[in-house]
Amino acid sequence: MEHKSTLPPCTLPDHNELAVMRTLMASERTFLAWCRTAMALIGFGFILEKFTWYLKNSAGADLTRAFHEMGALSTFAFCAGCLIIFLDGIRFIRTRQALSAEHRVTAYIPELILITAMAVILIVCILYSQNILL
């Protein structure tokens, strides 16, 4: 008794399409790694800002220069995080568009939502650190 499969034969994508798929996945992994790095910078800036606030409230000595330097460093960390997200978002979208010109590519809406959410987080952190938002 011979068993015959009723499933249609599977068609595999060609080598070029597989290369495009690998490139897209690598681009997405790189984008997410840069977002993780940017969030670490933003978090570091936020921690510096909170530490500065703690020192201002509890230090008996005048540490004006240290407060100024820590404030500048935390602002730099906030801005560097935002710049990383923005620039890598542009790179990611350009890579997607270049590859989608010839091949079928899924939408990049989740990445745009991530970029927007991280930009909002950055703005809230900056406003909070400048005592505008309490």
Percent of the chain with pLDDT over 70: 70
The CA radius of gyration of the chain, in Å to the nearest whole number, is 24
Backbone angles phi, psi at 106, to 5 degrees: -70, 165
User: What is the tens place of the pLDDT at every residue in 16-73?
Assistant: 777 877 888 888 888 889 888 888 988 888 888 888 777 777 765 566 666 667 777 8
pLDDT of the residue at 1: 55
Q: Is residue 95 very low, low, confident or very high in pLDDT (cuts 50, 70, 90)? A: confident
Cα separations in angstroms, 126 against 49, 74, 90, 111, 130: 10, 9, 23, 23, 6
Q: Assess contact for 121 and 40: CB atoms under 8 A.
A: no
Mean pLDDT of the 108-128 span: 74
